[in-house]
């Protein structure tokens, strides 16, 4: 059965000045020249750059997304942005429930679900992040934690083509550590089963990303794991060559599959 197009998403976090729009132009040109040819490629810069970044990618295959949003459309929420504002600025995706936001701002599963609903209702795509801490994994609770996060944060009846789940073990983010391929495979198999249960109409088409210290040196093996439909890339997305090397792992796969 044909799999949905993989997604390689860069999360710039709180990095990026106006001068760094040149990086977005460089990724845009690489993507439009066929780099990452088999994957959809997305960059989520800080909110301050979205308007300018979205203008730069008009007519390009490169997409621009936000890193979080609130569920309300507007209101007295100092410092926050809504999904409607992200869309208005030109974003087509939003990352929700990243572990850094869950940890720093106490974002709950219910808040993540409400935010996902607001983004999906506006026609945007939502990337919902889940993942266990080191202590939870060592206590044998990784799947129960991830299962609870999925149950609490995935909206009922989403459009499966616009829902993305990113499995990001908290202990692998920015540390250079990654789970074994077997552990990634087991968790993605578990997530697929849960998503098929939570989203009976099309759960098998929801893209499942792996995130956590993906680098050019380990991208090909991580992205080749069953039920890994792409990656959420933090640190390595700040370097155009590294990011495109990661996105580029899909070129050969797709060509090979097409010519098989």
User: Catalytic amino acids?
Assistant: 98, 168
- Residues between 105 and 164 that touch ligand PEP (CB under 6 A): none
CA distance 166 to 95: 9
- Closer CB to ligand PEP, 34 or 176, in the complex: 176
- Closer CB to ligand PEP, 57 or 170, in the complex: 170
Cβ atoms of residues 7 and 40 within 8 Å = yes
94 binds ligand PEP (CB under 6 A): no
Residue bearing tokens 């459309």: 73
66 binds ligand PEP (CB under 6 A): no
- Find the binder of ligand PEP among 27, 96, 170, 173 (CB under 6 A): 173
Provide the minimum distance between the beta carbon of 55 and ligand PEP in the complex, in angstroms, as a whole number. 25
97 binds ligand PEP (CB under 6 A): no
65 binds ligand PEP (CB under 6 A): no
- Find the binder of ligand PEP among 68, 109, 149, 213 (CB under 6 A): 213
- Find the binder of ligand PEP among 66, 179, 235, 248 (CB under 6 A): 235
CA distance 160 to 183: 25
Region from 63-71, 79-87, 145-153, 166-174 binding ligand PEP, contact rule CB under 6 A: 166-174
212 binds ligand PEP (CB under 6 A): yes
The size of the interface with ligand PEP (CB under 6 A), counted in residues, is 13
Half-sphere exposure at residue 18, Cβ-oriented, CA atoms within 13 angstroms: 1
CA distance 6 to 223: 9
Cβ atoms of residues 114 and 78 within 8 Å = no
CA distance 111 to 101: 11
- Find the binder of ligand PEP among 91, 165, 195, 232 (CB under 6 A): 232
187 binds ligand PEP (CB under 6 A): no
| Nearby residues of 29 by Cβ (< 8 Å), 6 or more positions away | none
178 binds ligand PEP (CB under 6 A): no
- Find the binder of ligand PEP among 174, 200, 217, 252 (CB under 6 A): 174
The full 3-state SS of 169-204, as one line of letters, equals CHHHCCCCCCCCHHHHHHHHHHHHHHHHHHCCCCHH
Q: Which helix (H) or strand (E) holds 209?
A: strand 207-211
CA distance 243 to 222: 15
Q: Which residues bind ligand PEP (CB under 6 A)?
A: 11, 168, 173-174, 211-214, 232-236
């Amino acid at each position: 059965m044909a799999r949905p197009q993989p997604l390689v998403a860069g999360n710039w976090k709180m990095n990026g000045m106006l001068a760094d729009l040149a990086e977005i132009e460089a990724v845009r040109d690489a993507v439009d020249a066929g780099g990452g040819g088999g994957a959809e490629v997305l960059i989520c810069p800080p909110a301050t750059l979205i308007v300018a970044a979205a203008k730069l990618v008009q007519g390009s295959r490169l997409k621009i997304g936000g890193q979080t949003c609130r569920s309300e459309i507007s209101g007295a929420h100092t410092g926050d942005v809504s999904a409607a504002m992200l869309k208005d600025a030109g974003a087509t995706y939003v990352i929700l429930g990243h572990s850094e936001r869950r940890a720093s701002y106490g974002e709950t599963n219910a808040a993540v679900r409400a935010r996902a609903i607001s983004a999906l209702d506006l026609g945007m795509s939502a990337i919902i992040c889940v993942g266990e801490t080191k202590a939870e994994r060592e206590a044998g609770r990784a799947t129960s934690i991830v299962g609870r996060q999925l149950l609490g944060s995935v909206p009922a009846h989403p459009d499966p083509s616009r829902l993305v789940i990113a499995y990001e073990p908290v202990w692998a983010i920015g540390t250079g550590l990654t789970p074994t391929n077997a552990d990634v495979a087991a968790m993605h198999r578990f997530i697929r089963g849960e998503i098929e249960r939570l989203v009976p109409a099309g759960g098998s088409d929801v893209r499942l990303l792996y995130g956590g210290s993906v680098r050019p040196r380990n991208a090909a093996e991580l992205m080749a794991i069953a039920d890994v439909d792409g990656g959420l890339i933090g640190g390595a997305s700040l370097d155009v060559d590294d990011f495109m090397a990661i996105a580029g792992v899909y070129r050969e796969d797709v060509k090979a599959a097409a010519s098989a």
